[in-house]
Structure 1
């Protein structure tokens, strides 16, 4: 159980200050959640340039394919290690949706995680209630914590590979 998840949340809207967040409290790791649409704005470049690793969420719906591919290509152009994680995978429809998403990414030469995020009502319910998902308690909470742990583990492995390559 994650009663104390071990992280702070800082709400900062100025992308120029993203690099400052790490120095504020000497954080080892800073996760930045960006708006889903960054078209025509310099925010993505500013945040990516301050990043060690970029994780791009992807729900594999028709309206999300091209923006996700453009974002992944832009991050690659900036030379920052990255990967895509499939989100909103419906557990009721089986694995086909996730497998198709992975094929789409592979065909485009875009790295992706093997873990993925399932679609559960708990995600929006916890957000609406103002309770971090790691502290949320409802029927699917244990499964959600497993999903978070899998993505977190894969993220840490990728960050470790990046750090090892820079030694």
Structure 2
């Protein structure tokens, strides 16, 4: 499964371009760049402060073969997104799987197998069951000791019977 990001000839050696991330409805973007003849893509989020790396829409600082964060000056290797200098040294940009297909750079999303889907559904169901179990334990711990046959009256500062029994 692929989704087209841009044309191959839009991505020049030693330059980075910005492409919208089709997976994110809130408008996040991707950095697409070519280094050593290969195209690489990363989320456009600096690991230091979570800000975009570009200094203007579609404009990135590219100095001495490194991608540079416009906000904090962190330098990233273009081939793997590893930060070699700046406040987030040792961290990496989040890589995005892409492929070059028929003259286009495409986002690559491998289709999960049915077994993987079932496993995810099972895992999600178990997580929801754990949440319900924790909630029920909390409710039990909170209300288990309350006398359910009597109600607290703040006006009289004592418990009174919930139902009056006929004499």
Alignment TM-score > 0.5, same fold: no
Task: Please give the range of the TM-score, normalised by the shorter of the 2 chains.
Answer: under 0.3
- In terms of fraction of residues, the more strand-rich structure is 2
TM-score (norm 2): 0.25
Determine which structure has more spread, i.e. the larger CA radius of gyration. Answer: 2
User: Which protein has the bigger helix share?
Assistant: 1
